[in-house]
Amino acid sequence: MTDALDFRLRRLAEKSRMASVRPLEAVWQEIAERPAARHDSLAISLAGQFLQGEELTALTCSALRDRLPLASARASLALQGEDEHRHAALYRRYLEARGARPDAASLLAPAAERFLAWQGPPEAILLALHVIIEGEALAFQEQARHYTNCPSFAALSRLVAADEARHVAFGRIYLPAALWALTPSEKQRIHEWLRALWFECSERLPQVLPRPWLGRFVTRHWAERRWDHWQAQLAELGLPTGNAGRQ
């Protein structure tokens, strides 16, 4: 781990500190003053899924933090955990304001189980979280703003996305050096684990977001296309495809 890496992580942590100075109540007022669509069930479903994702990410950040060797990386995860708690509180308030609750089924339930069961290097979980899950969530936030018609949800989504971009940046800065230290067989094992996690989560989409256009076939096609994208991203960070084929 180099001084240059440490410097970049400290600069990222400083940006996070500066971005989180506004009190939660002021942020919520900015969201609440936008009109809210009364019957946007997609926005409500998405807010429930995002809320569960925020809670999982907050828990994972605090569980992983002490396993990272660099103080600046630990500081970044600590600040991220605070961001995720704030995001969760905002999604909760959005749902409460509509008399709604998150669905019992979470898209990320298989990821949560796999995080708990994983016995290998922490980089596997960082890759799952900071590259794939948060990267996909960020892309999803963009899409969601086009498919929903709730200005209040769009304002919430934009505020959250600004923080999520920094969380994704943490993975891009930290992971190449951390992955460099792993053996080829560790990388292969992580790659297979990530692929299984991706398909287990994505095949739950029709169940957690039931929509007439979102059937099993469409989901599978989308999941395979996006997995190709994430494989390329993983390879760029230093986790090559290896021999892992598709399921």
**Considering the complex, what minimum distance in angstroms separates the CB of residue 164 from Fe ion?**
5
The rounded distance, in Å, linking the Cα atoms of 102 and 48 is 4
Under 8 Å between Cβ of 90 and 53: no
Query: Least distance in Å: CB of 220 to Fe ion?
Result: 27
Q: Under the rule (CB under 5 A), what is the footprint of Fe ion? A: 54, 84, 87, 134, 164, 167
Report the alpha-carbon distance of residue 152 to residue 34 in Å, rounded: 5
Question: What are the residue ranges of helices labelled H in the chain?
Answer: 3-19, 24-32, 41-64, 71-97, 109-117, 123-126, 134-147, 151-180, 184-202, 205-208, 216-237
13 φψ region: left (φ > 0), alpha (ψ -120 to 50), beta (else):
alpha
SS3 at position 203: coil
54/136 with CB nearer Fe ion: 54
Closest CA to 233 of 179, 181, 164: 179
Residue 220 corresponds to which tokens in the numbers above? 């599978």
Q: Which is nearer to Fe ion, 123 or 136 (CB)?
A: 136
Least distance CB 87 / Fe ion (angstroms)? 4
Q: How far is the CB of 224 from Fe ion (least distance, A)?
A: 25
CB 37 within 8 A of CB 149: yes
Instruction: State the nearest-atom distance from the C-beta of 198 to Fe ion, in Å.
Output: 18
Strands (E), 56-164: none
Q: Which residue has the tokens 């500190």?
A: 17
| Least distance from Fe ion to the Cβ atom of residue 116, Å | 19
**Longest Cα pair distance anywhere in the chain, in angstroms?**
53
Q: How far is the CB of 168 from Fe ion (least distance, A)?
A: 8
